[in-house]
Amino acid sequence: MKAVVAVDGRRAQDLADRLRDDAVDVRAVVAAARLAAALRDALSTPEAAELLAELSRADLLFVDVRAGSLSAELVAACDRLGVRVVPLCERVADRRLAASLGLVPRGIDDSVAKLTATESDTEVAPPTRGRVITVWGTHGSPGRTTLAVELACALAGGDRRVALVDADTHAPSLALATGLADEGPGFAAACRQAERGALTVAELTRIAASLGDVDVLTGVNRPGRWPELSAARVLAALEGCRDWVDDVVVDVAASLERDEEIVSDLVDGPRRNAATCAALEAADLVIAVVAADPVGVARFVRAWPDLRAVVGTTPVRVVVNKTRPGALGIDARGQIRRTLERYAGVSEVSFVPWDAKGTDAAMLAARPIAHVAPRSAIATAVRRLVAETLTVSASTPPSRAATRRRLARTA
């Protein structure tokens, strides 16, 4: 058996030595980036042509999985040459990229027998349908975006794959809050691709930005682009995201009004609040955010019937954000609990405390609170919320309501 090793650093020689010890003929050892460049320069430099000639004589290609080293072009070239690609993955994102290209991910420290095993010898887990969690809140900055970011970071612990989506058509701010560029394709591109039926896992991986272990589909960089997020497009894009990650956390706008349908002369014209309503309808779980002050609680109580009318039987978890005694006096939590139970019929409530220091540090660094202040009271409360309410086993089936909605859309 002949092989080419395209691995960076000292690991390349270590892997080559291991393969030689197991009677594998290592034809070449190169840097991963050099192999990618050889595909582009095959006809212009003799070194590139020689490297591709060695690759054509090999049976296996061991390659480091990185955005710049493993590509669809490399996989297609190996397919033409009859060379099997063995992707070596260190991070969860690397495994996701390899899987998106139809490859079976391998660990750097796997045994030679496992590295050289064929795909038919490897058990591949059946594909799972991801969960959509929509974060909604009333007007007045209750902290929807902050909680959406922290929820995504908390859910991303372990091996769970998590995506964060900005579907706010009034004031999109995920990119600004997390220090990501908002000139990229983002969620609007995913919606356009979904409308054409071309939204794949590989395409989602390509257009997503990285926020640590969380993949982010940023929102429109100008609110005037809201017609790009139509209801049909948003539903199709979120459905595609279910095949991409385990959890999709969606940040949406506050408005649930449908009055625009009454005043519009266009029967099938765009609706600015359609993206919010579509994300709520597609959700398996809704996180409803309440600002812990008299105005915020009053606004939530008034909007609660409209929210229930949109989500139907989908479970809603009410989270009271920015909890502090200064705005409500003694026993702030007790007062909010009694008010929500009396006027909205909400008995189960989670609380996230106000932490100005942690919030300011995150805003200054343009990073999630969990990254810059992991011991912050906010990050701790969100992790507790995830552990107690949002964590599910891999075998947990989708909710019946979500299953009925998906079957209705595909019927």
CATH for 311: 3.40.50.300
Please give the Cα distance from 279 to 314 (Å, whole number): 12
Number of domain units in the chain = 2
Residue 299 phi/psi, 5° resolution?
-60, -40
> Do 136 and 247 fall into the same domain?
yes
Range of the domain at 287: 131-410
In this predicted structure, what is the pLDDT of residue 89? 80
> Do 205 and 342 fall into the same domain?
yes
> Do 158 and 94 fall into the same domain?
no
Q: Write down which residue in 103, 121, 139 finishes a domain.
A: 121
Q: Are strands 209-211 and 285-291 parallel, antiparallel or unpaired?
A: unpaired
Residue 98 lies in a domain: yes
Task: Give pLDDT tens digits for 284-335.
Answer: 999 999 999 999 999 999 999 999 999 988 999 999 999 998 888 888 999 9
Task: Give pLDDT tens digits for 108-152.
Answer: 666 566 566 655 444 444 445 789 999 999 999 999 999 999 999
> Do 337 and 305 fall into the same domain?
yes
> Do 112 and 135 fall into the same domain?
no
Mean pLDDT of 271-280: 92
Residue among 339, 343, 275 nearest 310 (CA): 275
> Do 57 and 170 fall into the same domain?
no
Residue 368 lies in a domain: yes
Please give the Cα distance from 224 to 221 (Å, whole number): 9
Please give the Cα distance from 244 to 205 (Å, whole number): 8
In this predicted structure, what is the pLDDT of residue 393? 42
In this predicted structure, what is the pLDDT of residue 185? 82
Residue 167 lies in a domain: yes
> Do 253 and 368 fall into the same domain?
yes
Residue 56 lies in a domain: yes
> Do 181 and 228 fall into the same domain?
yes
Task: Give pLDDT tens digits for 383-406.
Answer: 999 998 887 543 344 444 444 444
Residue 156 phi/psi, 5° resolution?
-75, 0
Please give the Cα distance from 79 to 71 (Å, whole number): 13
pTM for this model (two decimals)? 0.69
Q: Write down which residue in 121, 153, 180 finishes a domain.
A: 121
Buried b (16+ CB within 10 A) or exposed e, 118-133: eeeeeeeeeeeebbbb
> Do 269 and 185 fall into the same domain?
yes
> Do 142 and 221 fall into the same domain?
yes
Residue 126 lies in a domain: no
Higher pLDDT, 92 or 77: 77
Mean pLDDT of 251-278: 75
Task: Give pLDDT tens digits for 345-376.
Answer: 998 999 999 999 999 999 999 999 999 999 99
Q: Write down which residue in 61, 93, 121 finishes a domain.
A: 121
pLDDT at 56 over 70: yes
> Do 187 and 40 fall into the same domain?
no
